[in-house]
Structure formats: structure tokens, C-alpha cells
Amino acid sequence: MGGDFAPQATVEGAVLAARELKLSVVLVGDRTLLQKELAEHDCTGLDLTVEHAAEVVMMDDSPLEVVLAKPQSSLHVCYHMLKRGDVDAVISAGNSGAMMTIGITLLGNLPGIDRPAIASILPTTEGLALLVDAGANNEVKPLNLAQFGVMGSAYMRHLRGIAAPKVGILANGEEESKGTDLTRTAAAMLAQSAPHINYVGYVEGRDINHGKADVVVTDGFTGNVALKTMEGFASFLLGNLREVFASSMRGRLAYLLVRKHLRAMRERFDPAEYGGAPLLGLAGRAIIAHGSSDARAIRNALRAAANESLGDALSDDIVDLLGKMSSTIPSRMAGKGIRAIFGRMRERLHLRGKEGEPPRKGDGSFEPGAERAAKIESPIAGAARRRTGGLLNGAAPTADARDAALHGAEHGPNAAPSANENQPEKSRDKPAHAKEDERP
């Protein structure tokens, strides 16, 4: 239900992915609207199902308020399906802050990860680079930047086959004296992480597309501005080229000679070609698509989500790398103050279905509790099995395996912390208001 052109573009993109990529896709949202859109397409033989959600997250909704006030939103239903193992990935072109906050609240982060980050692919003269973070965390700490570098390095190894990805921090100059206290402290952490991380120093904005680094690390505010600036300039450049070639007969003749190369350049610049950006560090596979995604972009986001390289192997590599670098990049877990409050809130959300009447599948609610027969096990727990409504590639970890591995992330402008792993076992199942002395 999210995105500038939803639900038309999202439904059409799902149909394209089911037909061309042979994926099994679940459309989550208002059943009446989704079925009406599906009726406009030939869905014969396609593995498309509809899961009803009674509420919709709007683009201007506060992520934190959505967690508390819209428990039956399409994003909540999506993440509960992922947690149960009914699907392998969640995709949305809607409110990215809510996408991240609900994901952290219901799934948690990978062990050792303080905050997830959006990882966006960028074209360069050397091929492709990864920008981390592209908009999830407006304000960060040095630990966050260092962890972004670790996650980005693991991503480029698994998905791009680069043995030792070059990691750089976005700054206002190449000299070590440039940047801020934030970037200098993060740079020291990454520089001391060799040989696990191939840190190459600061990267200026003009060097991003020149391939100086395979992974460019920055905060979400700066990263999003840089990303949108590059997208805007690419559109500006292509628009000017169209005017040049269309302005005269000579220009049109010249276009015939170079149109193949221009088409390739346009595809490299077009964000829709890359589909969406993974939310690295979340204990589950989530893809955030551009808000202006058309049907082709949604189709490509589904293609990205079905990539097995985004599964357990990548998550295991991130956790393993952080473990090897614990002396230089420490892991900070939730335990006090507001993070503990959100930890108990997460437990309450998990218990919501147990406290009331058991909901029925398809009515906009979810089915917490015991494992269902349709659920697919993690490769760690057993061989993967095909189930209805799931994507074809990869496997979601079991609920028990996730709950044993999940740790929280510090609450920021676009993120809500997860459960407090340091909390005594007996108090985890209690409401946040159970005892006065349990309050942070």
C-alpha cells in the first residue's frame, strides 16, 4: 500500500515478478483495492495471493506512533508473516522510517548491530559502489559508522564477489584532519580493523562515482542528500541529452549512431534498475524501494529480495566479522532508559495475540504463537521446504532461532530499540508497568 503510485504500481510490479521471475508473491493491504487492481491483469497461472490488512501506514505518519497506534497495518502484517516464516522477505515503497522501526520492534537486529542501515547501490566508473546509510539514521555515533562499514563490506563480498571491498567514509576532504569528531573517531575504529576491513580513508562527494571506494559510509541524513543529488543530476543530464539530439536533424542522425550506448547509460543511472535497497543489520530480509517506484522498480525490488545472497550467509558473515573486531568495534546492547522501555514494548507486541482472541489468517491480523506447518525452517535448523505465499529463494530463520539471536538498537529519529537482552527472564513477559521499581 506504500509508494507514490500505490497500489497500481505495486500490483503491476508484483504481476511482472510472478510472470517473468516465477516468484511467489503475497500482496498485503486492503483486500478490496488489491483484488480490484489484480482484475486489471491476466494472472492466470501466477502464484499471487492477497493478505488483508485493515490499516495503512501513511508517508507522514510518525514511525513510533505507527508501532503503537496501527498494529494491524500492512507493514505489521508483512513483518509478522516474515517472522512466522510464511515469506522470505518484506518489500515496501512506503514510509521507510516506519519500515525500519516496525522491523526492529518485531524482529530485532542481528547480534552486535546497534542500528540497521539502508544500503543503496550506486553506479561508478569501476562498476558499482554501496552507500551506507542512505536514509535510515539521521543522527549517528562513531560506532554506528564503523558497523555500517562492516555490513557494507560483507554485502559487497557476498553480492558483488569482491574479495576485499574498499571501505571509505564520506567527508569534506581526503586528509585525516578533515571531517568531524564523528568521522575521525569512526575512521580510527575502521583503520584498526585490518585485515578484516580494507579501510582506504576519507572519500569526497566527487569521488563516489569514480570508484575510490566500494563501500561509502556516512550518516543517513548526509547519505540521503548525496543519493538524491546524484539521482537529480542524472535526470538533468539525460534530459539535456534528449534536447540536444532532438533539436535538429543532425542531432537525430547522431542519436541513431549512439542510441545503444545512451540506452545503457540511462539504465545505469536509473534507480528503478536496482529495485530497492536492503535494510542491513535487521534480523530478517527487508527491501526498501524508492517512494516513486513504478511497476518496473517494484519488479526489480522483488528480484533483489529473492536473491539468496541476502539470506543467512550474509547475516552470519556480518556477525562473524563483528565478533573478530570486538576489540576495535565494540557491540553495545540495549539495557537502560528508553531502550529498555521499547524492549518491553516489543515483548508486549509479541504477546498481543496471546492475550486476546486468536486472530484468523486473512482478516488483517496475524497468527502468533506456535510454528505453522507451512513455515520454512532456517538452513541451520533443517532443509528448506517450499510453502504457499513465500518467495522462491532463500529461507527465513525460525522464530526460536531469531528470538535467541535478536538484540536491540538504540532509538534514533527513525528507529525504535528492540528487546533488552539483559533483562531478567521472569520480567520479560511482564508488562512495562508491572512494577514501579522495574521502570528505567
pLDDT tens-place string over residues 188-203: 999 999 899 999 999 9
**Residues whose CB is less than 8 angstroms from the CB of residue 242 and which lie 6 or more positions away in sequence, other chains included:** none
Residue 73, phi then psi, degrees to nearest 5:
-70, 160
Collapsing DSSP to helix, strand or coil, 91 comes out as: strand
Smallest CA-to-CA distance from 375 within 16, 82, 37, 73 is with: 82
The enclosing H or E element of 345 equals: helix 337-355
Tell me the average pLDDT of the chain. 78
CA distance linking residue 423 with residue 131, whole number of Å? 35
For 180-290, list the strands marked E by DSSP: 198-203, 215-217, 276-280, 286-289
**C-alpha–C-alpha distance, residues 143 and 147, integer Å:** 6
Q: What's the pLDDT at 349?
A: 53
User: Please, where in the chain does CATH 3.40.718.10 lie?
Assistant: 117-280
- C-alpha cell of 350? 509479541
Query: Do β-strands 286-289 and 25-29 pair in parallel, antiparallel, or remain unpaired?
Result: unpaired
All three cell numbers of 9:
504500481
Query: Strand 215-217 and strand 166-170: pairing?
Result: parallel
CB atoms within 10 A of CB 186: 28
Indicate the fold that domain 117-280 takes in CATH. Isopropylmalate Dehydrogenase (3.40.718)
Determine the 3-state secondary structure of 201 from DSSP: strand
Residues with pLDDT less than 50, the chain: 333-338, 341, 351-440
Give the pLDDT confidence score for residue 260 in this predicted structure. 83
- Reduce the DSSP state of residue 313 to 3 states and report it: helix
